[in-house]
Structure 1
Amino acid sequence: MLFSPSLNVLTLASLIASPIVIAARLPSNQFSPRSSFELSADICAYIDVEIAVDVNLGLIDLDVNVDVKACLCLNTLVDFCAQKAAAQGLTTTQHTKLLTSLKNMIQRPGGAGKMCTYPSTPGCSQSCSASNVCGFTCPVGYKPSTDQYNNPTCVCSSSDYWSCNGQCIPNGQLCPSQAPTSPKARANEKRRQAHPTRPWCPRGKSACGIYENGGDAWECVDTTSDLESCGGCTIPLRASSIPGVDCSQIPHISDVACVLGECRVFKCRRGFVVGKNGTECVADQSSRHDQQASFLDVTSMHFKS
């Protein structure tokens, strides 16, 4: 069978001009986040979209569509993308593009992401879903509730019990001391007793300096969520420590939070808008143009009169 040379050239040219789309749908079951966490805040969103991660084969560009239908949080996004990449057989470049695209969808200003806060109750877990992206599950014996400031919390399911060291015990029963039981915990306690002036903090927190007259005062801070020591200590105790950022000092902010060690701006003062990176407030150029236009209109009316 003979092929027309002109047809072959035309077919190849059309392939080069138009990217080929390979739809590769993966299971759209809800992604299961980590069972428990020491997390006070996160940004979550329900994502239902197909993301194209292109592959360059020289003369031909192939677009591989990854179907994403899941409730995702920044805290669990890396694990989710790793599972998708493994199931699809994505290259490192495609994996990175998928991660970047989803991250931008969740955390960009005005995007699908929602700021979520969680209880500090041990054993609490994220429970992100399409109906409630900020959902959480309390440990056995507890139920979801809110405190006097409308912050989410876990309280004992029965009014006959009260919370003690992460457990619900009957009212009137004394709360036992939380003495270390594991060998590692006992070893850490011995170090604290041997060096009482040396900063020791529980796992997940860092020893940061505080402003105080005289002495080397310090406190234990969760630098992944602390507003004034975000990403590190604002007053490091060691010269080699990575300094943190005081999110409250970002110019022109109105609403800001520290999420996973990074300042996230959600609202700015009048005349300013949230920047593209979501970490600063920039001048609202549209309002400036409107003011200039109004000034020009008034000026032209003045000359006409």
Structure 2
Amino acid sequence: MKFSTVAPLVLAASSAYASSLTRGYDVIKSRQAKIRRDVLDVCVGLDVDLTLTDILQNGKPLVAGHLDVCLCVSLIPEFVKSNSACQTASGLLGVAKVTAILEGLVNNHPDCQHCSFPEHGHSVCAPDWPCGFECSNGYQPYTNPGDQHPSSCKCPAPMTECNGQCGNYPNGCGSAVPAPPQRRSRHAGIAASKRQDTGPTCGAGYTVCGVVEGSNEYECVDTVNDVESCGGCMVPSPFGTYFPAVGRDCTALPHVESAVCKSSACYITSCAPGYAPNQFNDVCYPLESNPGPQNVTNSKRMFNLGPGVEAITEKATKRADVIAGAQADIRGLVKLGEGAGVVPKPKGL
């Protein structure tokens, strides 16, 4: 009888002790810093011509080159900077127009995929797997049974998780609440940011951007006018929803001597010797060795617009005047050093 009375007390005490351990574990776990980065992007493998419908050559839209690449919308700004066909097209139409063309090619492609990347995963676009990703911070890709590709990043045994990192922690994981990040600002007079559940905030007109020095540090940037972070962050914010870095350092553009940021777009004011801005002032192009006036009659001039692309001009009698606009037929002398130009057909020919 005494045993039956004591047993429930022992069981109750054991249950309470186990519950306290669970609560203690949950408290420690809740204090660990875990920043989710579920990235939404649109990706597809492209095998198409980069066609410039705003410019005609012999009555047909000009082809600036061929694109055979797996591309995501978030990667387009960097792709425009590095791809030769895109650089040529940018000299003719401007970076913003070429970026819009590429976005249309990706978003309107019948095989495009809307990708959601797991926590600790970052995009690695491949033609056979546009939504491909790799895992970071010690995590490994995990493929569910029966699936063709991984869908998550796991921390494999015997390693354990600690504050968003997967590794060996023989002394356990620290339970202290992470200290708030160092609060930095490029601009004097900006009020100190207040840390909220979604991360810190900046004053009106400024964006929270990451910094190279640390994964949890940030700075407040005016991406509309900042010449070194024009149009967006150079390093993504480490807080909240992940957005790719789309900013441009206008001072680091090829052959640029000076530039400013106007309404989130780079505007080149001067180029290195031997180069000049195009008509959109966003690319520096080489000047011709003899930039003086020319008089060409019944001749053909050819220039390389990209892999396998040539444009031919005939019967030019005047120096090229810069013309930007829709449906302009390329006829006449085109001067690469001053961007794209069109010479109108002389009267009487």
TM-score bracket for the superposition, by shorter chain length? 0.3 to 0.5
Q: Which structure has the larger Rg?
A: 2
Q: Could you state the TM-score of these two structures normalised by the residue count of structure 2?
A: 0.37
